[in-house]
Amino acid sequence: MEFYKKYFEEISSAIGLVDFDDLHKAALLVEDTSKNNAKLIIAGNGGSAAMASHVAVDFTKAAQIRAVNFNESDLITCFANDYGYENWVKEALNAYADPNDLVILISSSGQSDNIVNAAKRAKEMGLKVITFSGFSAHNPLRSLGDINFWINSANYNYVEMSHHIWLLSICDFIIAKTNT
Residue 123 amino acid letter: K
pTM: 0.96
The predicted model gives 150-155 an average pLDDT of: 93
Task: Give 90's Cβ-side CA count (13 Å radius).
Answer: 19
Domain region containing 173: 2-178
CATH number of the domain within which 136 lies: 3.40.50.10490
- How high is the pLDDT of residue 104? 98
- Cβ–Cβ < 8 Å for 134, 115: no
Alpha helix stretches (DSSP H) within the chain: 2-16, 20-35, 47-61, 73-83, 88-96, 113-124, 156-178
Under the banding of pLDDT at 50, 70 and 90, the label for residue 141 is: very high
Distance from C-alpha of 98 to C-alpha of 94, rounded to nearest angstrom: 9
Q: Is the pLDDT of residue 173 over 90?
A: yes
Task: Give 85's Cβ-side CA count (13 Å radius).
Answer: 5
Q: Is the pLDDT of residue 179 over 90?
A: no
pLDDT in tens, 94-120: 999 999 999 999 999 999 999 999 999
Residue-averaged pLDDT of the chain: 96
Q: How many domains does the structure of the chain reveal?
A: 1
Identify any residues that bridge with 130 across adjacent strands, giving them in sequence order: 104, 147
pLDDT in tens, 21-68: 999 999 999 999 999 999 999 999 999 999 999 999 999 999 999 999
- Cβ–Cβ < 8 Å for 41, 59: no
Q: How long, in residues, is the chain?
A: 180
- Cβ–Cβ < 8 Å for 141, 77: no
36: left (phi over 0), alpha (psi -120 to 50) or beta: alpha
